[in-house]
Chains A and B, each alone.
Chain A
Amino acid sequence: GQSLEQPSEVTAVEGAIVQINCTYQTSGFYGLSWYQQHDGGAPTFLSYNALDGLEETGRFSSFLSRSDSYGYLLLQELQMKDSASYFCAGGSSGSARQLTFGSGTQLTVLP
């Protein structure tokens, strides 16, 4: 099975950079995904790392280190609309191909 740990809350100011960490313990780990969820909304896909290293998509970047069982989501030039919950999710190899989600990090962006 898999378990993923991430901080429950992070607070930052508009325009700043914030990093949300995720550590995982898993068998058959395949890759790490990140999802954003605003209050009352559905989770939306942000990024996926299958290989070690940094993936950049606009203001958001995601990093994976398999040797350290660790990844992070980096949000730059924070905007008020980035206030949301962010979930890391581990994918599995083999027959169990579903994602296992962490408990989520509530990001609050202050003016």
Chain B
Amino acid sequence: GAGVSQSPRYKVTKRGQDVALRCDPISGHVSLYWYRQALGQGPEFLTYFNYEAQQDKSGLPNDRFSAERPEGSISTLTIQRTEQRDSAMYRCASSLDPNNYGYTFGSGTRLTVV
């Protein structure tokens, strides 16, 4: 597509529920990144993929967080047993290749855990 598409745009969930956040990167972009951004702060790295391979998941806060990109295109970030502290803006970005630091970010998913 023309840009990075994320869905849903907003998600309100009850504590303890699982949520799945979707990212559709720019067509042909090899690298896909997940970040989390708190209000007034810079994006915080979570994980990234080259094609379908997860290259680094060191930023995932704990084992409730997981991500996949099975066909090297669309990616899903899953949070199990959500907690209030998981509330944040989750942003996906893609780049043409791993050496390209000009990321294109999506509009994000605002997650609220109540």
Contact = CB atoms under 8 A, between A and B. Distances in A.
Interface of A: 30-31, 33, 35, 41-45, 48, 87, 89, 91, 95-104
Interface of B: 31, 33, 35, 40-45, 48, 55-56, 58-59, 91, 98-99, 101-108
Majority-rule SS of B interface residues: loop
A3 to B, nearest CB: 11
B56 A96 contact: yes
A44 B108 CA distance: 13
Contacts of B31: 97
Given A42-B91, A42-B108, A95-B56, A101 B44 contact: yes
A31 B101 CA distance: 8
Nearest to A50: B101
Contacts of B104: 45
Contact of A91 (B44, B56, B101, B106): B101
Nearest to A47: B102
Contacts of A103: 40-42
Contact of A89 (B40, B48, B101, B108): B101
B51 to A, nearest CB: 13
A42 B107 contact: yes
Given A33-B101, A45-B102, A48-B102, A97 B55 contact: yes
Contacts of B33: 98-99
A31 to B, nearest CB: 6
